Structure 1
Amino acid sequence: MPSKVSCLYVLTVVCWASALWYLSISRPSSSYVGQLAVPARKTAKSKNVTFSNIRTRPLNPHAFDFVVNEPKKCEADDPFLVILISTTHKEFDARQAIRETWGDESTFADIRVITLFLLGKNTDAVLNQMVEQESQIFHDIVVEDFVDSYHNLTLKTLMGMRWVATYCPKAKYVMKTDSDIFVNMDNLVYKLLKPTTKPRRRYFTGYVINGGPIRDMRSKWYMSRDLYPDSKYPPFCSGTGYVFSADVAELIYKTSLHTRLLHLEDVYVGLCLRKLGIHPFQNSGFNHWKMAYSLCRYRRVITVHQISPEEMHRIWNDMSSKKHLRC
C-alpha cells in the first residue's frame, strides 16, 4: 500500500502539471506568424468590468520591441520630411539604389529629409544579421520583432507611424512608400509640400481608391467576410505611396490600438482615417502602376511603381543631367 508521503508527492506533481497546462492554453498570444492574428485577450473578472475599461482596453497593443532602431535620427534638427520605405531583407540592391538616387538625404541643401527602411524579423538568422550589419553602416533601418511577411505589412506601417510619433514628432511631413517605387523628389517637395508655406495639419494625400473587398480566395487582396463584412471600404490611398502631415502618424498609431487589424495595410490605414474624420485628398501625381519611361512624363509625376534598382539609377541620372531641357 503506498505511503502517505508518496501519495502527497504524486498529487503535487499532478497539480503543477495541470497548472502549467492551464497557463499554456490561457496565456494571450502575440504571434503574427503567417496570417495576421489578433492577440487573444484575457477575460476580466466580473467585479472589475466597467464601461470605461471596456472602451479603453487596447484591442491591438502592438507589443513589439525595436530590435534595430535609430532613436537619435531627429535629435540634431527637426526634418521637413521623413520617408518610410517598406522593404524586405533580401532587397539590399533596391535599398542601395534608393540611397544613391531619390532617397539620398543630402539631395536638398535648404531642407532636411530623413530616409528610413522598415522591416520585421526574418525567420533566417543570417538575413537578420546581414540587415543589422547594413544598419551599422548606413543608420537608416528600423526593425521590430514581428515576423516579416506579406500578411504583416500592416504591422510594418504601424511601426513606422509609431517611430515618427516617438522619435520624430516635430517633423513636418511623412511619406510612406515601397522599395520598388521611383519618387520625383522635386515634385514632392516643391510642388506638393512647398517648404515656404505653413505646414498643414490632419493632411493625407495620395492615389485615392474607392472600392470594396475582393471575396475571391485566389486573389492576393482576398478579404473574408469574417474579417470585413461590409461591401465597401472607406476611401484609402494606395500603399505604393502616400504623404501625410506628421501629426497624423500619432493619430493613426493610437487609433490602431483600438481598431481590428486587417492584413491589407492601405485599407487598414483608410479605416483609421475614417475613425479620425480625416479625408484623403486625391492627387493624380501618385501612380500605383508601372509607366514606360519618358523624361517629360516622369517630370509630371510624384511616384511610379515597379521600378528595378537598375531602372532607378538610369531614370535618376537622366532626369538629373537633363534639367535644362524643356518638354
Structure 2
Amino acid sequence: MNKCLGCIYSVSLFIGIFSFTYLYFYVSTKLNLRHRPSFKTPGKNPSLLSVFNAGHHIKEIDIPSYEMDLKLMKAVEKLIRRDRIDLKPVNLEKFRYMVRPNGPCEFHNASSNFSRVLVLVKSAPDHYRLRQWLRLLMNETVGQMAGNLRMFFLLGYSKEMNIDINAESKKYGDIIQKNFIDTYRNLTYKTQMAFEWATTDCASADFVLFQDDDFFANIKNVFEFLSVQLKPEELFTGFLVEKGSSVVRDRTSKWFVSDIAFSNEVFPAYFPGGSYIASHKIVERLSYAFPYVKFIPVDDVYVGLVASKLGLAMKASHLFYFSDCDNWHSCLTCKAFT
C-alpha cells in the first residue's frame, strides 16, 4: 500500500513539474512575440530603381539604431534653439570661404503674393557659359516674381580658374566658394556648404531650390507649385530613388563608397542630384545635423541618409525631369544637357 502511494506521489510530482515548465515556456514565448517589434520590409520599385541602378541586386535595408537617431533629433532641436548639446561632431570643419556674395541675401521689393525662393546651383569652376546662360534665362523668365527670387552658384577651388572666378564674383556678386578642391568626390562638401550658407546667410527664404548647372528651372511653375502647398514647412520633394539601391563597392567607379565610410549594403531613399526643393525649415534641420553624421562621397545619398536619421519625409514628384526639356511647360525643372 505504501509502495503504491509512493508511486502515485512520484507520478503526480512529475506531471506537476512538467505542466508548470510547459506553461512557463508557453507564456514566455507568447509574451516575447507580443512585445517583439515588427519591421515592415522596405518597399521596392524596380522600374524606378533600374534607372539609376541597372544590374544591381536589391537588398533589404538594415534597421538603423533608433536610439542614435533619437539623440540626433533631440540635438538638432536644441541647436535650433541655440542650446548646448552633448553630441560631438564627427565631421570637423576643414574649409573656409574664399568668395561670398556681395552684401546680405535679401529679397528686395518682395511681393507678399509669392514665396521667397532661394536657388542654389552646383557648378564647376570652368562652367562660366552655363552660369551666364542661367543668369540670362532667369532674368528673362522671372517676370513679376523678380523680387522674390535670389540665385547663387556653388563652387570649389580651382588653381587654374580662380582668377577668373574672382573677377566673375566681383561682376555679378553671386558666387559662393570654399577652398576644397572642386572634384566629383568633394560634392558632399559643396552640398554641405549650400545648406550651411542658406541657413546662416539667407534665413529669410521660404524655400530653397537646389539644382545642377545643366538643369533649367521653370520659375513660373515653381512659384505656382509652392503656392498650393498645404504644409509648406514640410515640403521636401524631387525625383525620388527609393530606399534599397545597392552601394557601389567597385573602386574604379566614381560612385564608389567604402564599407568603412558606409557599412550598409544598400542606400536609403534619396534625390539624385539634379534638382529638388525643400522648405527653409527642412534645410536648417539638415544643416545642423550634417556635422554629426559621417560624410560619404556621394552627396545626394548623404542628404538622404541624414534625412532618414531625422525622420524627414522625402516626397516623390514627377515634375522633375531628368531626360530632356521637351515638356518645359509642364515641369518644375528639367535636364537641359546630357
TM over 0.5: yes
Q: Structure 1's 106 and 283: CA in aligned 2 closer, same or farther, altered over 3 A?
A: closer
CA distance in 2, matches of 1:106, 1:284: 22
Sort the Cα spacing of 1:152 and 1:99 in 2 relative to 1 into closer, same or farther, 3 A: same
RMSD: 2.3
Aligned partner (choices 133, 143, 147) of residue 108 of structure 1: 143
Aligned to 1:92: 128
Please point out which of 146, 157, 162 is paired with 2:196: 162
CA distance in 2 between partners of 1:172 and 1:95 (Å): 24
CA-CA distance at 1:284 after TM superposition: 0.7
Distance 1:224 1:77, change over 3 A: farther
Q: Percent identity?
A: 26
Give 1:27's aligned residue.
none
TM-score, normalisation: structure 1? 0.70
Separation in 1 of the partners of 2:208 and 2:319? Answer: 17
The residue correspondences of 1:8-27 to structure 2 (distance < 5 A) are: none
Q: How many Å separate the matches in 1 of 2:214 and 2:128? A: 12
Q: Give the superposition deviation at 1:287.
A: 2.0
1:288-299 aligned within 5 A: 288=322, 290-291=323-324, 294=326, 297-299=327-329
Residues matched between the structures, number: 247
Counterparts of 2:280 and 2:92, CA distance in 1: 22
For 2:140 and 2:91, the matched residues in 1 are separated by 34
> What is the aligned partner in structure 2 of residue 269 from structure 1?
303
Map of 2:59 onto structure 1 = none
Contact 2:142 2:220 in 1 (8 A): no
| Aligned amino acid, residue 92 of structure 1 | Y
SS of the residue 1:255 aligns to: helix
User: Partner of 1:121 in structure 2?
Assistant: 157
1:193 aligns with 2:226: yes
Partner amino acid for 1:217? R
Matched residue, 1:35: none
CA contact (8 A) 2:120 2:209 kept: yes
| Aligned match of 2:93 | 62
**Residue 185 of structure 2: aligned partner:** 151
User: Is 2:155 the partner of 1:81?
Assistant: no
1:305/1:75 CA distance change after superposition, 3 Å: closer
> What TM-score results when the alignment is normalised by the length of structure 2?
0.68
- Farther off after superposition, 197-206 or 79-88: 197-206
Q: Secondary structure at the match of 2:233?
A: coil
After TM superposition, the structure 1 = structure 2 runs for residues 128-277 of structure 1, keeping only pairs within 5 Å, are 128-190=162-224, 192-194=225-227, 200-210=232-242, 211-277=245-311
Structure 2 distance, partners of 1:105, 1:158, is 30
Aligned partners of 1:269 and 1:170: how far apart in 2?
22
Structure 1, gaps ≥5 residues long: 1-52, 309-327
Shift of 1:153: 0.6
- One-letter identity of the residue aligned with 1:142: I
Instruction: Find the residue that maps to 1:263 and give its secondary structure.
Output: coil
Amino acid at match of 1:300: S
> Structure 1 counterpart of 2:155, which letter?
L
Q: Greater helix share, 1 or 2?
A: 2
Structure 1 position 63, deviation (Å): 3.7
Contact 1:181 1:305 in 2 (8 A): yes
Aligned partner letter, 1:61:
L
1:157–1:265: 8 Å Cα contact kept in structure 2? yes
> Which one has a bigger Cα radius of gyration?
2
SS in 1 for 2:288: helix
Alignment of 1:307 with 2:337, yes or no, is: yes
- Post-superposition shift, 1:222? 1.9
- Code of the residue aligned with 2:87 in structure 1: it is T
